[in-house]
């Protein structure tokens, strides 16, 4: 399949594919969409996928992939959709998924893995959807997330986060869903208030009012 260099879209989703992702897929340099989700794929995400520099959508969710997220994915500068949820990925979230590398990223889903460490401070500023639920992320919520003013949905639930909601979240006037349940965030009797948005803590989650 690595010889099909004119291929623009390759979707093999919802099958029973097993084994590892062939690194030869990196030869399909005209690809704009690659969907391998909902299979039984194992092993690491091959760094050779970073050669797919025309890629706008990479869908590897709902497999059994392991290892770390390759920093090389930061070379996919046209990427808009990166879905790696529901695997067994570990290690930290690489800073190469940040704004200076993936400026056009619209939706990032890393939920339901085994990712650890802190949440990176610099995610792409064009993000509308950010899903980091059900990992092992720790530390405080970085106030820099308040700069992602297009953000509509932010899921940080079921991690090991501490501290409180940053006041900079008051800048997220387009935010529709904020889920921070099942962490170790500090309780507070006062509202977390920013410019135009107020978050009220109800004992398990913050909601925008």
Report yes or no on 179 lying in a domain: yes
User: How far lies 206's CA from each of 107, 127, 136, 163, in Å?
Assistant: 22, 21, 20, 13
Helix (H, G, I), strand (E, B) or coil at 58: strand
* Least confident residue range of 2-11, 67-76, 155-164, 185-194: 185-194
Report yes or no on 4 lying in a domain: no
* pLDDT tens digits along 62-85: 999 999 999 999 999 999 999 999
Number of domains in the chain: 1
Range with the largest mean pLDDT of 4-8, 129-133, 198-202: 129-133
Residues 174, 206: Cα–Cα separation, whole Å? 16
Hey, what are 80's tokens?
């808009």
Q: What is the pLDDT of residue 200?
A: 47
Checking if the pLDDT of 207 tops 80, the result is no
Average pLDDT in the 177-191 region? Answer: 79
Report yes or no on 1 lying in a domain: no
Report yes or no on 139 lying in a domain: yes
| Confidence grade of residue 188 (pLDDT, cut at 50, 70, 90) | very low
Q: Say which DSSP state 13 is in.
A: -
| Confidence grade of residue 54 (pLDDT, cut at 50, 70, 90) | very high
* pLDDT tens digits along 78-112: 999 999 999 999 999 999 999 889 999 999 999 99
The distance from CA 206 to its chain's CA centroid, rounded to whole angstroms, is 21
Residues 35, 57: Cα–Cα separation, whole Å? 8
Q: What is the pLDDT of residue 3?
A: 79
| Confidence grade of residue 2 (pLDDT, cut at 50, 70, 90) | low
Report yes or no on 173 lying in a domain: yes
18: domain CATH number is 3.80.10.10
Report yes or no on 186 lying in a domain: yes
| Confidence grade of residue 196 (pLDDT, cut at 50, 70, 90) | very low
For the CA atoms of 60, 61, 64, 66, what is the dihedral angle to 10 degrees?
A: 70
Give the structural domain span for 155.
9-208
The distance from CA 65 to its chain's CA centroid, rounded to whole angstroms, is 15
């Amino acid at each position: 399949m690595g010889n099909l260099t004119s291929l623009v879209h390759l979707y093999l989703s919802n099958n029973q594919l097993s084994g590892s992702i062939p690194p030869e897929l990196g030869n399909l340099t005209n690809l704009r969409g690659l969907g391998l989700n909902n299979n039984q794929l194992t092993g690491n995400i091959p760094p050779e996928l970073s050669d797919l520099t025309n890629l706008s959508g990479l869908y590897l969710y709902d497999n059994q992939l392991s290892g770390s997220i390759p920093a090389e994915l930061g070379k996919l500068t046209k990427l808009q959709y990166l879905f790696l949820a529901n695997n067994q990925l570990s290690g930290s979230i690489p800073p190469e998924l940040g704004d200076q590398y993936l400026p056009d990223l619209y939706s990032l889903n890393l939920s339901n893995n085994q990712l650890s460490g802190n949440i990176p401070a610099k995610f792409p500023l064009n993000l509308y959807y950010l899903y980091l639920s059900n990992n092992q992320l720790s530390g405080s919520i970085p106030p820099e997330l308040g700069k992602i003013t297009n953000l509509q949905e932010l899921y940080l639930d079921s991690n090991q986060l501490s501290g409180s909601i940053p006041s900079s979240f008051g800048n997220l006037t387009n935010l529709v869903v904020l889920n921070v349940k099942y962490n170790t965030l500090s309780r507070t009797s006062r509202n977390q208030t920013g410019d135009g948005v107020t978050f009220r803590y109800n004992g398990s989650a913050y909601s925008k009012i």
